[in-house]
Structure 1
């Protein structure tokens, strides 16, 4: 058997709300919605998907990280064609722009509405 990455799962106190944010941000479609679980996928591809599971005690990571606090375990990288426009659109959907930006050009670190870190980046970065 060949192993394939099927999905990334984000814990959140409100799976439907966070799924709605990513559905709008990515233009993906909803495949299932159950209490405590929502699954999205690209409109033309079954996998990999992005799922959201209920974690009522979710604690967002601290950024930039430092010892003794909730560390970032993973983040999403989302390629965009127009960085300024997509940052503005993400903010209009409920994201926030991080004050700490590790690169001056081509990449913006944002947080989704529940505190997960996302890097929006231009091709080539």
Structure 2
């Protein structure tokens, strides 16, 4: 499939797809006219890349972890190093801390909403 179709099917811009390819995260063949030709499995790969970005990983880390992850076309081709696993666990711990902070922030807002609602009701 051409880059425009891949972009449409994944919701990821063509510029980002070119960047993924430049970083070695995504691969394509070339048509005789020089256009990129992506395999069907590229859709799943782009979605996986987006999920990893959303998890807070950068392209370098994604490049290290992608070969260790199960893809649509089979199992992982390599095992992650202990150092990479430790880095990923540290990133997960950071996200857990952020989630805890967000939950506490929501609780404070809930208290403020209740307090503000009580004042409005008392004034009415």
Q: Is the TM-score greater than 0.5? A: no
More strand by share: 1
More helix by share: 2
TM-score (norm 1): 0.24
Larger radius of gyration: 2
TM-score (norm 2): 0.25
